[in-house]
Amino acid sequence: MNLDTISSQDIILTGDRTTGQLHLGHYVGSLRNRVILQERCAQFLLLADAQALTDNMGNYLKVRDNVLQVALDYLAVGIDPAKSTIFIQSLVPELTELASYYLNLVTVARLERNPTIKDEIKQRGYERDIPAGFLTYPAAQAADITAFKATIVPVGDDQIPMIEQTNEIVRRFNASVDQPVLVETRAVVPEVGSRLPGIDGKAKMSKSLGNTITLSASPDDIRQAVKMMYTDPTHLRVADPGQVEGNVVFTYLDAFHPDRELVQGLKDHYRRGGLGDTVIKKHLEDCLQEMLAPIRARREHYAQDPSAVLEMLKTGTRRARDVAARTLSEVKAAMGLNYY
Ligand code: TRP
């Protein structure tokens, strides 16, 4: 990711579906960047409970409960509510209203071609029985982004199709009202490791695959996860040369270990042979324990006072709602829907 291209004039909007606690994949893909970017520009962080419901209506309590959990994850990694506006999507009805107009600017065929939607439909086995709200959530996401006139969206690479679709809507809207009311946006994706593999070596760390390390993982969870971690299945004896590419332990060392030289040395040694999995795993475990201990401690600290967290969300939501309401009235005025 090239942070240098982001200036204090930029406005950032990003968020997460509240379907579960956040994990190391989120940390690498976007949380780390948000902690840095909040120092530089205005940042809005959305707890996307309404989007989570598009495929979780049968699980609304899980979605509700995870609003607090994701907020705790944000605070735990160092997102500061004095610098970032954290808010609850369902409490900003202006977003839904905006989305309802945007739906007139996208076709069903285009939504069905959105690569992320396509993947998710396959994963969920919907075939043709797709909840309409699910199919159309890219329009809702366009509303989330444009309501804040966000110029930057720091996300993992799976969200790039959403940004492209948002910009199509922006251009179409501006063209149809012949005024530059909405602002185009840009995805900011970390260059390496924007998609952290699961501990099992599968392409993506994901709760549904059960291959995650959550930000609240206990020391024992971390130990177990590293122990089970996929390495090089052909590296049978310590003396054998081992593969570094596709070896999850090395992928994680690259993503998290602060000492690049040490990691390079381990890689060379592993490739030559004579370095066992237990040794590289020990380095990784130590590094993850050290990194996650303060995150877990902060999370526990905030978790002791949920009403203070809700109060923080209330303040953020009020602020976010003001901004979204302003954009909505500009949008409506541009369409002549300002009757009196
Ligand atoms: N789609 C994102 C996710 O899957 C959540 C989200 C909703 C979002 N609205 C957004 C992300 C706007 C960035 C910008 O977690």
**Cα 24 to ligand 1 centre (Å):** 17
Residue 52 falls inside a structural domain: yes
273 in the same domain as 155:
no
The CATH number of the domain holding residue 125 is 3.40.50.620
Residue 173 falls inside a structural domain: yes
Residue 198 falls inside a structural domain: no
pLDDT tens, position by position, 5-23: 899 999 999 999 999 999 9
pLDDT tens, position by position, 50-102: 999 999 999 999 999 999 999 999 999 999 999 999 999 999 999 999 999 99
The range of the structural domain enclosing residue 246 comes to: 216-299
pLDDT tens, position by position, 19-43: 999 999 999 888 988 999 999 999 9
Nearest Cα residue to atom 13 of ligand 1:
14
Please report the pLDDT score of residue 193 as a whole number.
Answer: 53
**Cα 141 to ligand 1 centre (Å):** 6
242 in the same domain as 152:
no
φ, ψ of residue 180 in degrees (nearest 5)? -80, 65
The CATH number of the domain holding residue 254 is 1.10.240.10
φ, ψ of residue 146 in degrees (nearest 5)? -75, -25
Pocket test for ligand 1, best of 124, 134, 144 (most atoms within 8 A of CB): 144
Mean pLDDT of 275-301: 97
Residue 150 has pLDDT above 90, yes or no: yes
Residue 223 falls inside a structural domain: yes
31 in the same domain as 118:
yes
Residue 209 falls inside a structural domain: no
Residue 85 falls inside a structural domain: yes
pLDDT confidence tier of residue 223, bands split at 50, 70 and 90: very high
Residue 183 falls inside a structural domain: yes
**For residue 255, what are the CA distances in angstroms to 101, 265, 305, 307?**
41, 16, 32, 35
pLDDT confidence tier of residue 192, bands split at 50, 70 and 90: low
Please report the pLDDT score of residue 35 as a whole number.
Answer: 94
What's the structural domain count of the chain? 2
237 in the same domain as 166:
no
164 in the same domain as 64:
yes
